[in-house]
Amino acid sequence: MKPVKHIKIKNEMKVNELVSSFGSCGFNSRKLSEAVNILEKAIKEKCKIFFGLAGAMVPGGMKQVVIDAIKQGYIDVLVITGANLTHDIIEAIGFKHYIGNEKVNDTMLHKKGLDRIYNVFMKSKSYLRLENFFTKHFDVLSKANNPREFLWKLGQILSKGGRKKARGRESILSTCYKYNVPIFCPALTDSGIGLMIWSQTIRKKKINLDFFADIAEIIEIAWQTKKTAVFYVGGGVPKNFIQQTMQFTRPASYGIQITTDRQEPGGSSGASLKEGISWGKLHEKAKFVDVYCDATIALPLICASLKDRLKNRKIKRKK
């Protein structure tokens, strides 16, 4: 047995030093440290990493962390909620999210045209420009065969434009396009994007996306992979869609999840990774850890720590 080593805060301590020292402590700090160890190992072994992103991570300020994770090669397949993509586009076309306050009166916010996401605000008129954007590009977008291709076309559109523009408004969608990372969004209709497509169809525009082709594509990717890692932020559809892919191909060799949901009420979001072993979603000998922490704290810690550990690694850019 190894003893607990008490954390010693140093001057100008680096994130990776602190996260590494978490590994000799207890409770969730150790779990967070193990998450970095597991990811480091999975990346070095060139596992294909399936990343599930739920929650309001874009409004929460985590967009660049995800973008950089894609660029660094920590993410090979992205499964995401429509909400995160909607907020990603809203920022890409020039709108912002704002530092808000959860204690404010919601009726007053409504009158001011501000939508609240806990302690973050967004102008509700963002939706108008979103509609214009989709009207403008719908002819191109509607040629997509399936949601994955639709999102790829969206990424292509968003990655165009002058350098300056691109730099300022880098998006998850455009980065996935540039780095050839497939994005899946099974519940696309459950989002602002879904609503924008619907609003085109009531103007008699046509689109015909084959949602089941997305299942075929992600299963094909998993089949062609020898070793996979799953990395879940926040549960929901992204987690479950990856889990079922593992179940129907082969169980993952590495697993990480960051959540604040509980396992006892039985929902998929809060289910422990260990439970996945019974289903064949996770390999019996897999290395895995559940980190119970707000992802806006845990995800940057994990990515900052990983960045330092992998700084001498040559990234095989998939561009």
Binds a copy of itself (CB under 8 A): choice among 14, 160, 165, 318: 14
Q: Which of 272, 235, 268, 228 is nearest to 252 (CA)?
A: 228
- Residue 11 is a binding residue for a copy of itself (CB under 8 A): yes
Stretch that binds a copy of itself, among 158-166, 175-183, 191-199, 223-231 (CB under 8 A): 191-199
Tokens found for residue 257: 């999840």
Stretch that binds a copy of itself, among 8-16, 39-47, 133-141, 161-169 (CB under 8 A): 8-16
- Residue 214 is a binding residue for a copy of itself (CB under 8 A): yes
Please count the CA atoms within 13 angstroms of the CA of 49 that sit on its side-chain side.
24
- Residue 120 is a binding residue for a copy of itself (CB under 8 A): yes
Tell me which residues in 235-254 interact with a copy of itself (CB under 8 A): 236-237, 240-241, 244, 248
Binds a copy of itself (CB under 8 A): choice among 40, 114, 137, 166: 114
Stretch that binds a copy of itself, among 149-157, 161-169, 196-204, 221-229 (CB under 8 A): 196-204
Tell me which residues in 17-36 interact with a copy of itself (CB under 8 A): 18, 21-22, 24-32
- Residue 128 is a binding residue for a copy of itself (CB under 8 A): no
Cα–Cα distance for residue pair 126/96, rounded to 1 Å: 9
When the beta carbons of 55 and 73 are compared against a copy of itself, the nearer one is 55
- Residue 140 is a binding residue for a copy of itself (CB under 8 A): no
From 281, 285, 287, 314, the catalytic residue: 281
Cα–Cα distance for residue pair 119/97, rounded to 1 Å: 10
The long-range contacts involving 212-218, CB below 8 angstroms and separated by at least 24 positions, are 213/145, 213/146, 213/148, 214/146, 214/147, 214/148, 214/184, 214/186, 215/245, 217/146, 217/148, 217/182, 217/184, 218/77, 218/79, 218/182, 218/184, 218/242, 218/245
Task: With beta carbons less than 8 A apart as the criterion, state whether 132 and 94 touch.
Answer: no
Tokens found for residue 106: 């919601």
Please count the CA atoms within 13 angstroms of the CA of 166 that sit on its side-chain side.
13
- Residue 204 is a binding residue for a copy of itself (CB under 8 A): no
Binds a copy of itself (CB under 8 A): choice among 126, 192, 225, 232: 192
The answer to whether 136 is a known catalytic residue is no
Stretch that binds a copy of itself, among 160-168, 174-182, 209-217, 223-231 (CB under 8 A): 209-217
Burial class (CB in 10 A: 0-12, 13-18, 19+), 173: buried
- Residue 312 is a binding residue for a copy of itself (CB under 8 A): no
- Residue 1 is a binding residue for a copy of itself (CB under 8 A): yes
Q: Which residues are catalytic?
A: 281
